[in-house]
Amino acid sequence: MSVLGSINRNIKSRLAGLGAGQLAESDDDRLVADLRHALSDDRVRFDGAERSLLSKDASVYRGGVAGPTCFPISTQEVQAIMRIAADHGRGVVPRGAGTGLSGGAIPLGAPIVVALTKMNQILDVDLDNRVAWVEPGVINLDLTRHLVPLGFHFAPDPSSQQVCTIGGNVANNSGGPHCLAYGVTNAHIEALEVVLPDGEVAMLGGLDPEPAGLDLRGVFVGSEGTLGIATRVAVRITKNRPAVKTLLLSFETIGDAADTVSGIIADGIVPAALEVMDQRITEAVENYVGAGYPKDAGAVLLAEVDGLAAGIEIDARRIEEIGRSHGATQVRIAADDAERALLWKGRKTAFGAIAQIAPDYYLHDTVVPRSELANVLAQVYEIAERHELIVMNVFHAGDGNLHPLLLFDGREEGVLERVHAAGREIVEASLDAGGVLSGEHGVGVEKQAYMNRMFSDDDLDHQDRLRRAFDPGCRANPGKVMPIGHSCADIQALRSVPTGVWG
């Protein structure tokens, strides 16, 4: 049974128990009419194709049902949507590029979907204060491309940075290979203009070194759309690095690569990035990109150091020494920017490369202590083999953020059950090793069922109280993050479910 299917069944039974009335078609008509009056006919859509497209994201979860979809172009229009949603008692789900992997953008209960892709302007760049104001629909890589000629870049660099949005990065507190040294998204957000679920506009954080009051900016980043919708974001921009060296180390086993990572950190070196790929994914990447990865290596470690030229020379030599002491069979240093870019292209397109092997994959992102990497990886391989699945491992080794890819063909009968069973065991193995549920993808619907494993009832109660402080009606991204039974959102925001939602 899929997690999303379980959630849908729970909500359906609760709604039946409540005797919730189903909306008549005319109620939807009135809702759409109100939204179109606030925006425009062409930016409020309610056709079957649009609803089907926006009922899913990049995760393996299916079964979401979208209500009307709005494409606002201003804070004022987002305000209007929120107020109309409140008037009609409907939930609201913010959506960026739909690249999320935890089901966070899947609409549950036919809510209004607020697609922010048209709010895609870089509003202002202040080089003196190293801050840029952007709208939530700005593509991550587009922001860096805009900044690089000015001598700056945006440090968080998820693998999906060619398509993911700043708003989505904020929602999930996204990471990326270079967040080992520079920190995840939260470390690069100075302030947020947010439309709360009642339509009020609030500024969270600020450009002062020490903004007054509680750190509500930090609370909002990573809240997965459950506290409101960001309409403007002040991001911290990072000075381009004066010098960079990228090393590719080859090993006979993935355990040797993992031990090298621990050795590098223990030596006092904090590289810009430490990424590991196992043999299967390395071979797929090399066939796909032709970056010069060794196909016969049991694993490769991509290490990058940056800073002043003299300093990175010392760090690079020391990383090579540590690698060889842990069994590195080959160490290659990128000769120039072109070779370095090619190596990173291979890493950043790893997920796309697996299409050569299987049409579908399920990707987890648990985090484990670096000292447990080799142990948990061994369990991941055993779990996949027992469930008759192919697994490939590519992960942010520096901070222990695992990314096991379970490959499958969704057309094969019964395969999804095996995939989800294996996924559950991987999460449990990670938690048993002292790990946490997510490093960057978020909880969404994927990891809701495990929140009780990581948090006590008291913890969950306080998380729900915080959510209610922002959203008393529990209408913002209903049915997400908090496990069923621990949030008003799993009932309150889904009372009004249009006919046919549950089939």
61: domain CATH number is: 3.30.43.10
Residue at which a domain ends, from 239, 254, 284 = 239
Same domain for 138 and 229? yes
Give the pLDDT band (50/70/90) at residue 500: very low
pLDDT (average), residues 49-55: 89
Question: Is it the case that residue 6 has pLDDT exceeding 80?
Answer: no
Residue 484's pLDDT band (cuts 50, 70, 90): confident
Q: Which whole number is the average pLDDT over 119-144?
A: 98
Whether 300 and 294 have beta carbons less than 8 Å apart is answered as yes
| pLDDT tens, residue by residue, 256-306 | 999 999 999 999 999 999 999 999 999 999 999 999 999 999 999 999 999
The CATH number of the domain holding residue 380 is: 3.30.70.2740
Least Cα distance to 125 among 105, 111, 143 occurs for: 143
Residues 226-252 have a mean pLDDT of: 97
Mean predicted confidence (pLDDT) in 75-103 = 96
How many structural domains are present in the chain? 4
Tell me the residue range of the domain where 275 lies: 243-352
Long-range CB pairs of 202-205, under 8 A, 24+ apart, other chains included = 202/228, 205/234
> What pLDDT is recorded for position 286?
95
pLDDT greater than 50 at residue 34: yes
User: Phi and psi of 394, rounded to 5°?
Assistant: -140, 125
Q: Does residue 384 belong to any structural domain of this protein?
A: yes
The pair of three-digit structure tokens given for residue 200, joined into one six-digit string: 């009020």
- Residues 258 and 232 both lie in one domain: no
Does a structural domain hold residue 196? yes
pLDDT tens for residues 143-163?
A: 999 999 999 999 999 989 999
Check residue 400 and report its DSSP letter.
T
What DSSP state is assigned to residue 226? Answer: S
Measure the CA dihedral 37/39/40/42, to 10°.
Answer: -130
Same domain for 314 and 344: yes
User: Taking residues 317-336, what's their average pLDDT?
Assistant: 97
The answer to whether residue 128 is domain-embedded is yes
Same domain, 143 and 235: yes
Q: Once rounded to an integer, what is the mean pLDDT over residues 313-330?
A: 97
For the chain, what is the mean pLDDT?
90
In this predicted structure, the answer to whether residue 140 has a pLDDT above a threshold of 50 is: yes
pLDDT tens across 453-464, in order? 999 999 999 999
- What pLDDT is attached to residue 212? 79
Q: What is the pLDDT of residue 25?
A: 57
Specify the pLDDT at position 11: 43
Q: How high is the pLDDT of residue 27?
A: 81
Name the pLDDT band for 377 (thresholds 50, 70, 90).
very high
Lowest mean pLDDT among 135-144, 258-267, 351-360, 375-384: 351-360
Percent of the chain with pLDDT over 70: 92
Task: With respect to residue 165, please indicate whether it lies within any of the assigned structural domains.
Answer: yes
pLDDT, position 170: 98
